[in-house]
Each structure stands twice: as C-alpha cells, then as structure tokens.
Amino acid sequence: MDIQQNISIGVVEALKSLYDLEVELIDFQPTRKDFDGDLTLVVFPYLRSSRKGPEQTAVEIGEYLKEKLNEVEDFNVVKGFLNLVISDKPYVDFLSENSSVNNFGFVEVNENSTSTMVEYSSPNTNKPLHLGHIRNNLLGYSVAEIIKASGNKVYKTQIINDRGIHICKSMLAWEKFGEGATPESTGLKGDKLVGAYYVEFDRAYKVEVKELVNGGMEQKEAEKRAPLMLEAQQMLRSWEAKDAEVIKLWEMMNKWVYDGFEVTYNNLGVDFDKNYYESNTYLLGKEIIAKGIEKGVFFKKEDGSVWCDLTAEGLDEKIVLRSDGTAVYMTQDIGTAIERAIEFGVDEMIYTVGNEQDYHFKVLFLILDKLGYDWAKKLYHLSYGMVDLPSGKMKSREGTVVDADDLMVEMTDTARAISEELGKLEEYSEEKKAELYTEIGMGALKYFMLKVDPKKRMLFDPKESIDFNGNTGPFIQYTHARIKSILRKAGDVAKADYTALKLHDKEKELVKHLMNYPNVIQLAAKNYSPALIANYSYDLVKLYNSFYQNVSILKAEDEVVKSMRVDISAFTASVIASSMKLLGITVPERM
C-alpha cells in the first residue's frame, strides 16, 4: 500500500470520526510549489457535514491525521486547502522497497484487463511516408505502449489505403511514362518510386487542364474532362470489376510500396499486430450499406447514391455509396470497424488521425451506433494537430512533402554534427559513433514530436530538437548516461539499511517525483497523451541534476548515505529508461 493510499484511509476515518461522514474516494492534489507540503486535500466538499468554516474544518482534519498517522509529520492550512507534510520515513521505506523493482509503475495484463485496439499510420499506397506520418506513427505507437503499461491488453493496427483514385493515378502514370521502371532498376525504395509517378500524374494532368482552359472550357469542367482524369476513373472502375491486367499492375506496385513502408517502420521503431487493407474491407462496408437500407438507417437518392441523414444529430446528410456504386472512405471505415470488432472483440478502439478528419469520425461513430453496434460508444478519435516546418506547408501532389526517410537521415546527420562540435565522443569507434548518432537523432525527433499535447498544431525544427540542454530528448539521454557513469564508478556498493535516515530536501523532492510515476502512466493512458510522460521525464531529469549538484553521491559522509544515494541514482536511471521507452526512445549507457 502506498503513502497516498494510507493517508486516504486516514482521511476517510477522520471524516467518519469527526463528522460522522462516510466517503469512499478521496482526491488529493500535489501541493503547489509555493506552499509547504506534499499532498493537498480540498475540504470544501465536507463543509456541509462539518458545519464549520473551511479553515477550521481543515485544521481539525489535519490535527486528526497528525495524531493518528506516522506518515503525516505536519500540516498547514491555506483557506480551504489542507497541505500535508509527509515525514521522511515513508519516502525512505518506499525507496528501499522499490529501487530495484523491474518495470516499476507498470500494471500486469490479466484475463480481466480491458482490450484496446489502437490504429495509426494508415498510409496511402501512392506515396512514401512523410513528416505528418511520423507524428501519427510516433503518437499512435506511444499511446499503445502507455495503455499497455497501464494494464490494458493492446492491439496495434493500421488500415492501408490500397485502393481508390489515388493509386490509380500512380498506376496510370507508370504505364504511360514509366518505361518498365522498377525499384531494382532505379535503385529507389518502392514507395518512393510509386510516389514519383503520383507527382508525374499531377504534372501531366495540370498541363491537360491548362490546354482545355485555353481552348475555352471552364476550369472546373476542364478538371473533370481532362483525359488523364477520365482514364484514372476508368481504371478504378476496371479495378472494382476485377480486370485481370489492372489487378496485376495494382498488386505489383502495391508490393513495391509495402516493402518500402517496412523499411521506414523499422527505422522509426514502430510495429503492428495486424494490417487491414481497404481493398478487403470496402466490400464488407458495401454489404453493411445494403443491410442498412433495409433497416432504414440509409436512404437512396434519385441518382442511386446512398446517404445517411444525420440532421437530427446536428450534422448533415452523409454519402456512403456513390451513384455508380463505388465506395467512399466512409464505406471502407464502416467495414473496417466491423471486421475488427468481429475478429478481436476489443472493448474500445482508438483512431489516430489528424484533426482535419474530426467531422468524418463524428459521422462514422454515429452511423455505427445507428446500425446497432454497442461497441460504437467505445470508439475514440485521437485527433492531433498538423506539423508545420519553418519552410511552410507540405503538398503531396506537388512533391513538396518532407519525406520521412530523408528526415530521419537528416536527424542523424545533425546529431553527428553537433556531437562532433561538442567533442564528446573522441574515444568511440566509428561504428559505435554511428549507432549513437542514430540513437540521439531519433531520440531528438521522437521526443520533440511527443512532448507537445497531441491536440496542438506544432512547428518542428530539426536543429532545435537536438540540443543537449533544455527540454529535449538528447538532454534526457545525456542525463541517463551521466547517471550510468556514476553507477559504474560506484561499483558494487554494499547494501545498507538506510530506512532511519533523514532526507535532504533534494533527495525528498526526487523520491517524491519517482513515486508519482505509476500515477502519471495511468493519467497518460486515460488522456491518450504521451506529452504527460515526456514532461514527467524532463522534470525527473531536472530534479536529478539538482540533486546531483547539491549532494555528494560517491563521497557521501558515510556508507549508509552512499548506499541510499546510489539507490536513488539507479532508480532514477531505471525510470528515465522506462519512461523514454514508452515514447519509443532508447537511452544510451554512455555518451
């Protein structure tokens, strides 16, 4: 049982004894830094029972706890806030009991655990992954890892958008301009090769549109009537009709893309338990639409298109099937959700998708609810802001995106340049240096992306992210390496019983923060926010550095104090490594 639980029980007993009030849950807050104390109890909810003012009520509860509980050393009252000062012993006991615990803060998954599916990445097969995909992948992967650490069973998945007009554009351009080019013949990753033909389609298409406009046609009509667009639309219809030649070309080019994606995912350090493909799930979606028409969930318009009327829910009418019978994204997402529910029977599903799709997911969840699926109420859109660069916005069709592979290489190169300038790695072999540059570069990228609240739009500056000072991944990695160096110098320190020691203020602050790690994991899982883990880690590193600067570790006044401070250091290093791992970041032993 932890300190807060003991004090919580004490408060329950105090309320019963003092005011004959029975409560089950007690909510504490960390005491604000400008007040003396560790835990704060807000007493306003108990005033009706105490029939006294907030300050007197707080004083009475504080006096009861100080008398009855060893954990409470003192207290002070600020209006209706009871600030409890916890004695040193519970902190020292906690440190002694937990400093060598593996996976401290993690909750084991059991047969009663909630099962959660987290979807992320969800790329199109007409282009390589870009900067936006990096934020998506890092966010989805980290959320999945945090939820798993909180005690849930987790399935990581992606839906690959492998059908539709976008891939037909790349296929058509390759047929017309490719001259049989392959990844092997060009030396390009398959996703980059296919993406190049998507850009080529757009270039040739714009030329055709301009010619039609110059010939007197309206812009919008020209965009519809351009020969390349008409051919791409016909190719999509041929694909849906299972034309053998079109299917063969589609399978070949998609295979190139899948191989390319796999390289990027490996370098990014993310993985999936299950891949879904829209080429399969859209068919299930179309079947569900047909059943939904019979149930009255959907209706047909005169042109044969199928819609769902959501005006009663404050939205509008949403198309779910085009007049020519082809599926829209909504059709595919309906089918995918149902297939996942059938296959895994998960309790909840989380969709990691940018905030430009907020409306889409409101509609999707409403439609699934109208279709009668109970689990539709456990669907959540993990909406996140876009990533901007100092150079401006990305555009896929124009080929101005920041390629994910290129960015990862740039991060490693930047880490190399900064490390060489600082001169920290002279004794390393070239091979070891290369590994460390990648570790630092990727740590910088991931931390910078994840320290920002997911809902916020963010500006990513590669150079700013690689800084060995400040709120960055390399700063945290460097502190971990520093602690490991201290522990190597300490060697095998004899274990001593330090539970009777009085703590230095810096020791107490640090141990208190370490104790809060399990709560932060639970809070981050509840809010789907890796930013809470990232900022906890940064605060932990700052507290350790302050501890390191204010007390002597290896030259402590006696062996008992030294034993405790080595334990604090080892425990801190363990939690840094653990929290960084939840963000997909590795921490080096040496830097």
Name the nearest CA neighbour of 351 among 386, 459, 340: 340
Measure the N-to-C terminal CA separation of the chain; round to a whole number of Å. Answer: 38
128-152 burial, b at 16+ Cβ within 10 Å, e below that, comes to bbbbbbbbbbbbbbbbbbbbbbbbb
**Best CATH choice for the domain 120-388 from the list 1.10.287.110, 3.40.30.10, 3.40.630.20, 3.40.50.620:** 3.40.50.620
Helix (H) or strand (E) holding 18: helix 3-19
At 586, list the tokens. Answer: 């590795």
β-bridge mates for residue 30, sequence order: 39
Judged on CB neighbours under 10 Å (0-12, 13-18, 19+), 580 is buried
pLDDT digit of tens for each residue in the chain (591 aa)?
578 889 999 999 999 999 999 998 888 998 998 899 989 999 999 999 999 999 999 999 999 999 999 899 999 999 999 999 999 999 999 999 998 899 999 999 998 999 999 999 999 999 999 988 999 999 999 999 999 999 999 999 999 999 889 999 999 999 999 999 999 999 999 999 999 999 999 999 999 999 999 999 999 999 999 999 999 999 999 998 999 999 999 999 999 999 999 999 999 999 999 999 989 888 888 899 999 999 999 999 999 999 999 999 999 999 999 998 888 889 989 999 999 999 999 999 999 999 999 999 999 999 999 999 999 999 999 999 988 877 654 444 444 568 899 999 999 998 998 888 777 677 788 888 899 999 999 999 999 999 999 888 888 887 788 888 889 999 999 999 999 999 999 988 888 899 999 999 999 999 999 999 999 999 999 999 999 999 999 999 999 999 999 999 999 989 999 999 999 999 999 999 999 999 999 999 988
Cα 135 to chain centroid, rounded: 8
* Cβ count within 10 A of residue 400: 13
Residue 103 near residue 38, CB atoms below 8 Å? no
Q: Where are the alpha helices (DSSP H) in 502-558?
A: 505-515, 517-527, 530-550
Provide, for the chain, the percentages of residues in helix, strand and coil under a 3-state DSSP scheme, each rounded to the nearest 5.
Answer: 60, 10, 30
Strand partners, 317: 309
Contacts of 300 (CB under 8 A, 6+ apart): 293, 306, 307
Report the SS3 class of residue 390: coil
347 and 115 Cβ atoms separated by less than 8 Å: yes
The values of phi and psi at residue 470, to 5°, are: 95, -175
Contacts of 90 (CB under 8 A, 6+ apart): 3, 6, 70, 71
Three-state secondary structure readout of 337-363: HHHHHHHHCCCEEEEEEEHHHHHHHHH
Phi, psi (rounded to 5 degrees) for 156: -100, 130
The upper half-sphere exposure of residue 21, i.e. CA atoms within 13 Å in the direction of its Cβ, equals 20
Identify the CATH assignment for 465-582 out of 1.10.730.10, 3.40.50.300, 1.10.10.10, 1.10.260.40.
1.10.730.10
pLDDT on residue 329 = 86
Q: What is the pLDDT of residue 475?
A: 95
Task: Quickly count: other Cβ atoms within 10 Å of residue 311's Cβ.
Answer: 8
The length of the chain is 591
CB count in 10 Å sphere of residue 584? 22
- HSE-CB at 411 with a 13 A cutoff on CA atoms is 32
Q: What is the DSSP string of 26-81?
A: --EEEPPTTSS-SEEEE-GGGHHHHTS-HHHHHHHHHHHHHHH-SSEEEEEEETTE
Cα radius of gyration rounded to whole Å, the chain: 29
Domain with CATH 1.10.730.10 in the chain: 465-582
Beta-sheet strands, E only, within 212-316: 274-277, 299-300, 306-309
* CATH 3.40.50.620 residue ranges for the chain: 120-388
Q: How far apart are CA 500 and CA 87, in angstroms?
A: 11
Q: Compute the distance between CA of residue 326 and CA of residue 72 in angstroms, rounded to an integer.
A: 68
In CATH terms, 3-86 corresponds, of 3.90.550.10, 3.30.420.40, 3.30.910.20, 3.30.1360.70, to 3.30.1360.70
Q: What is the dihedral of CA 193, 194, 200, 202, to 10 degrees?
A: -150
Query: Cβ contacts of residue 490 below 8 Å, gap of 6+?
Result: 553, 554, 562, 566, 569
Q: 276 pairs with which residues across the strands? A: 159
3-state secondary structure of 294: helix
- The structure's pTM equals 0.89
